[in-house]
Amino acid sequence: MMIELAFVACIATEPDTCRNKSLLYMDVPVMACLMQGQAQLASWTEQHPGWEIKSWRCQVHDTRTAEI
């Protein structure tokens, strides 16, 4: 089972310019995603200066709706 850390990231200087993003994890319980999500997002923002996280959630990744 894949777990998805789904989040909305917006450009800090243009808060109306946002993108849906996600990080995927194999064989990780949803609870682990919930407990470690903020640390993962902090790391993401360090690697993507100028972006801010507006919201996030952990969920089972649905491969039927995944983009190809």
Evaluate whether 7 touches 33 at the Cβ level (below 8 Å).
no
pTM: 0.84
pLDDT of residue 58: 96
Per-residue DSSP letters for 2-36? Answer: EEEEEEEEEETTEEEEEEEEEEEEES--HHHHHHH
How many Å apart are CA 43 and CA 24, to the nearest integer? Answer: 15
pLDDT in tens, the chain (68 residues): 899 999 999 999 999 999 999 999 998 899 999 999 999 999 999 999 999 999 999 999 877 665 54
**Domain boundaries defined on the chain:** 2-60
pLDDT of residue 9: 98
